[in-house]
């Protein structure tokens, strides 16, 4: 294995010592995937592991620790099921660990990989639809407390960008009317969502499923919560059918949703309302804008914020342009 110099090596060595994982045999290697936290491989003389260093700015949020505690309880529930997951390891009876103010999770190493968009097939979409239905079967209740609306002041960020990043300023200004329009429609639609609550992964896209041949394991379970399963069904089906590449494949979309239904998942009656209420991209855009401006983040996150701002605006534009075709496909299932 080629050595890659890692500035977190000293911390990771201390983590191995604290948790009794043995001595590092290789320089820790950064693992690609998510945009919030850092992940590394840890190959020691006792075994192979993965570690997730939780973003310290995320951990400062008032609700962070309570959200993680909830996710851990739900993860423990899934560990007792047939859903193929990679759960966090326990040390001292706890999943979340801490060392010198750095919170982290540790996992057994799994030798799979996430799929490229070209590797996603109808059979794999069907497997994901079935897995999502199993997750949603836990703690499902036919009630749902409508979430608060989204009230993002895009003009505020335009004012900040005007002095710091003229390129992003022009991009956001060009799309500001679309952002406000989607926000308004989303706030109206979320009040009409189908009433249901269930265990939801909340980020089960391609990067968070590792495949080894035809077998797979679902990762990033710290996002688990009790949420609206209809919303997650739509967004996850879209992710697996190519919306991230701005080219939805309707055969993949049908395979995912039909498998979900065949596995016992309930389909909504009104896809249009769900489509309008699906405003997670707007929230991710605001977070990315903050990072691009150096707000509530470290300096090494600014470039990620800039990149994700550009990508997310492109996703939002595509999401709106593809609406009619996607809703038509889903309505005819």
pLDDT digits over 25-80, tens only? Answer: 989 999 987 789 999 999 999 999 999 999 999 999 999 999 999 999 999 999 99
Q: Which residue has the higher pLDDT, 143 or 327?
A: 327
Give pLDDT, residue 142: 73
pLDDT at 5 over 70: no
Identify any residues that bridge with 40 across adjacent strands, giving them in sequence order: 30, 51
The answer to whether 152 touches 282, Cβ cutoff 8 Å, is yes
pLDDT at 145 over 90: no
CA atoms of 284 and 161, how far apart (whole Å): 17
In the predicted structure, residue 4 carries a pLDDT above the cut 50: no
User: Does pLDDT of 146 surpass 70?
Assistant: no
Average pLDDT over residues 128-157: 87
User: What's the sign of the alpha-carbon dihedral 295, 299, 301, 304?
Assistant: positive
Q: Is the separation of the CB atoms in 306 and 168 below 8 Å?
A: yes
Is the pLDDT at 147 greater than 80? The verdict is no
Q: Which of 25-34, 35-44, 240-249, 263-272 has the lowest mean pLDDT?
A: 25-34
pLDDT tens, residue by residue, 162-194 = 999 999 999 999 999 999 999 999 999 999 988
Six-digit token string for 214: 């035809």
Residues 6+ apart with CB under 8 A from 301: 291
pLDDT at site 78: 95
- On the question of pLDDT at 260 being above 60, the answer is yes
- Give the model's pLDDT for residue 212: 96
What percent of the chain is predicted at pLDDT more than 70?
A: 96
User: What is the DSSP annotation of 146-211?
Assistant: PPPPP---HHHHHHHHHHH-HHHHHHHHHHHHHHHHHHHHHHHHHTT----BEEE-S--SGGGEEE
Residue 237's pLDDT is what?
A: 98
pLDDT exceeds cutoff 80 at 6? no
Q: What is the mean pLDDT of the chain?
A: 94
pLDDT(270) > 80: yes
Q: How confident is the model at residue 154 (pLDDT cuts 50, 70, 90)?
A: very high
Antiparallel, parallel or unpaired: β 209-212 and 97-99: unpaired
Q: Are 162 and 296 in contact (CB under 8 A)?
A: no
Residues of the chain above pLDDT 90, percent: 90
Residue 226 DSSP SS3: strand
Rounded Cα gap, residues 157 and 26, in angstroms = 43
Which of the four pLDDT bands, split at 50, 70 and 90, describes residue 2?
Answer: very low
The structural domains of the chain, ordered by start, are 9-108 (3.30.200.20), 117-331 (3.90.1200)
Averaged pLDDT for residues 88-115: 96
3: pLDDT strictly greater than 90:
no
The structure tokens listed for 198 are: 């269930």
Q: pLDDT at residue 143 above 70?
A: no
pLDDT of residue 208: 95
The rounded distance, in Å, linking the Cα atoms of 51 and 42 is: 7
- What's the confidence (pLDDT) of residue 225? 94
What pLDDT does residue 1 have?
Answer: 39
Please state the rounded mean pLDDT for residues 214-231: 95
């Amino acid at each position: 294995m080629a050595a890659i110099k890692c500035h977190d090596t000293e911390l990771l060595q201390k983590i191995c010592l604290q948790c009794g994982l043995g001595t590092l045999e290789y320089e820790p290697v950064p693992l690609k995937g998510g945009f919030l936290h850092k992940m590394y491989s840890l190959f020691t003389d006792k075994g192979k592991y993965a570690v997730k260093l939780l973003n310290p700015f995320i951990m400062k949020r008032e609700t962070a620790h309570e959200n993680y505690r909830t996710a851990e309880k739900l993860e423990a529930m899934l560990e007792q099921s047939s859903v193929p997951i990679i759960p966090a390891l326990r040390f001292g009876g706890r999943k979340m660990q801490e060392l010198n103010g750095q919170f982290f999770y540790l996992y057994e190493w799994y030798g799979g990989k996430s799929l490229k968009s070209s590797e996603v097939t109808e059979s794999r979409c069907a497997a994901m639809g079935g897995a999502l239905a199993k997750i949603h079967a836990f703690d499902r209740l036919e009630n749902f407390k409508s979430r608060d609306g989204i009230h993002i002041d895009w003009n505020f960020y335009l004012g900040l960008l005007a002095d710091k990043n003229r390129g992003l300023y022009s991009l956001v200004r060009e799309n500001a009317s679309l952002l406000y329009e989607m926000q308004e429609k989303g706030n109206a639609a979320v009040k009409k969502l189908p009433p249901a609550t269930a265990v939801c992964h909340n980020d089960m896209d391609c990067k968070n499923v590792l495949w080894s041949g035809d077998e797979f394991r679902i990762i990033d379970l710290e996002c688990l919560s009790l949420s609206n399963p209809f919303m997650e069904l739509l967004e996850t089906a879209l992710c697996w059918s190519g919306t991230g590449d701005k080219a939805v494949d309707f055969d993949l979309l049908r395979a995912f949703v039909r498998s979900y239904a065949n596995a016992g998942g309930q389909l909504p009656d009104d896809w249009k309302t769900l489509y309008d209420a699906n405003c997670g991209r707007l929230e991710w855009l605001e977070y990315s804008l903050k990072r691009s401006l150096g707000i509530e983040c470290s300096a090494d996150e600014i470039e990620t914020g800039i990149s994700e701002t550009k990508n997310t605006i492109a996703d939002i534009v595509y999401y709106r342009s593809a609406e009619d075709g996607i809703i038509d496909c889903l309505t005819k299932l």
